[in-house]
Amino acid sequence: MKQTFIAAALASTALTGAAMAQDVTLQLKWVTQAQFAGYYVALENGYYDDAGLNVTVLPGGPDIAPTQVIAGGGADVIVEWMPAALAAREKGLPLVNIAQPFKNSGLMLSCWKDSGIEEPEDFAGHTLGTWFFGNEFPLLNWLSKLELDTTGASEDSVEVMKIGFNVDPLLQRQADCVTVMTYNEYWQIMDAGVSPDDLSTFKYSDYDVDIMEDGLYVLEDSLDDPEFVAKMAKFVRASMQGWKWAEENPEEAAMIVLDYDETGAQTEEHQIRMMGEVAKLTAGSNGALDPADYERTVATLLAGGSDPVITKEPEGAWTSVVTDKALN
């Protein structure tokens, strides 16, 4: 009888603990890969559990726009690039940056050198491929700053080609340049047997057109709820614990990501290499957005010539209320 009572008490305690755990749904910007290792590490290592959180991580994909998911109530928080978030905010979706795990930009443009492209000014008259769903904004902004026409009105126009999330258009010579990330698509080109000497590769950060990538965003109204703010503080703290562990243990972090990849599409070699590159982008971040990084991104987007990504200085587009609570 005593054993039955103890068993029942333990079961009751477990149920109470589970009931008290706060649910958080995170929508990723792309599929399960080392780009998001910190979140998967936090899941696997129990950091979210320790924080009293029941976190669901939703992978993204080519037809999934995080901004649309959160607008439809499908997520509490999303991983998004700042240009897409600010553009959505200007159009009426009140997104707010609450944390910035990525300190540096991994965005590049790789071009065939034999196409005559050696400097950005050589883009005129060529076809440049990039991803859409908000990912096109940095490139369009860069072209606007260079005062390069993208309307096809002249022979010197730049044709912007919508491409999938691969480098096939470059390899098949359908595009002279394609958007790549330091941790992913660039290595797809290398794996196809192309030599770095065959390419002219431009890092956005080298031309002061880099933007903040992979920040955490929520809807502004949610921040009016103190309980939500407290929950997000727990989430950010545990997530950053995951990111720092991933930086220090890149191979182990890559293996954790592979365990969560339900598609089986990722490979060990690719994910380990990706994690090594991603660690360079999260290094130096404690999760808090540096106001100088925000201001640089906004200035870059506003300086987009006749067709900028945003047309006015955003107001209320980021807050430190969550990271202040998470870090103290």
Q: Say which residue the tokens 């954790």 belong to.
A: 256
Q: Name the amino acid, one letter, at 48.
A: Y
Beta 95-99 vs 215-219: how paired, if at all?
A: antiparallel
Residue 267: CB partners within 8 Å, gap ≥ 6?
A: none
> Is the predicted pLDDT of residue 298 greater than 80, yes or no?
yes
Q: Which fold has domain 2-104+212-327?
A: D-Maltodextrin-Binding Protein; domain 2 (3.40.190)
Going through the chain in order, the beta strands assigned E by DSSP cover 22-27, 53-58, 77-80, 95-99, 107-112, 127-130, 159-162, 177-181, 199-203, 215-219
Angle in degrees, CA 50, 53, 59, rounded to 5: 115
Q: Residue 17's pLDDT band (boundaries 50, 70, 90)? A: very low
What pLDDT is attached to residue 136? 86
What 3-state class would DSSP assign to 95? strand
**Would the pLDDT of 35 be above 80?**
yes
Task: Give dist(CA 314, CA 128) in Å, integer.
Answer: 29
Using pLDDT thresholds of 50, 70 and 90, give the confidence band for residue 304.
Answer: low
pLDDT digits (tens, 9 = 90+) for 129-142: 998 866 788 898 89
How confident is the model over 258-271, as a mean pLDDT? 93
Q: Residue range 109-136: average pLDDT?
A: 92
pTM of the prediction? Answer: 0.87
pLDDT over 70, % of the chain? 92
Q: Worst-scoring range by mean pLDDT, 86-95, 115-124, 155-164, 236-245?
A: 155-164
Average pLDDT over residues 188-213: 94
**How is residue 283 written in tokens?**
């290094």
Does the pLDDT at position 7 exceed 80? no
In the chain, which segments carry CATH 3.40.190.10? 2-104+212-327, 107-207
Q: Which of 7, 31, 85, 48 is nearest to 243 (CA)?
A: 48
The pLDDT assigned to 69 comes to: 97
Residue 18 has pLDDT above 80, yes or no: no
* Residue 310, SS3 per DSSP: coil
Rounded-to-integer distance, Cα 46 and Cα 52, Å = 10
| Other CB atoms within 10 Å distance of the CB of residue 36 | 27
Flag whether pLDDT at 16 surpasses 60. no
pLDDT band at 305 (very low <50, low <70, confident <90, very high): low
Q: Is the pLDDT of residue 11 over 60?
A: no
- Rounded to an integer, the average pLDDT of 281-295 is 96
Phi, psi of 23 (to 5 degrees): -80, 135
For residue 293, give both structure tokens.
């990084």
For residue 9, pLDDT beyond 60: no
Please state which CATH number belongs to domain 107-207. Answer: 3.40.190.10
**How far is the first Cα of the chain from the last one, in angstroms, to the nearest whole number?**
47
- The Cα–Cα gap between 275 and 253 comes to 7
Q: Residues 150-171: what's their mean pLDDT? A: 90
3-state helix, strand, coil in the chain (%, to 5): 50, 15, 35
Backbone angles phi, psi at 241, to 5 degrees: -60, -40
Spatial contact of 40 and 262, defined as CB atoms under 8 Å apart:
no
Q: What is the pLDDT of residue 306?
A: 64
- The tokens for 187 are 């290595």
pLDDT (average), residues 284-304: 91
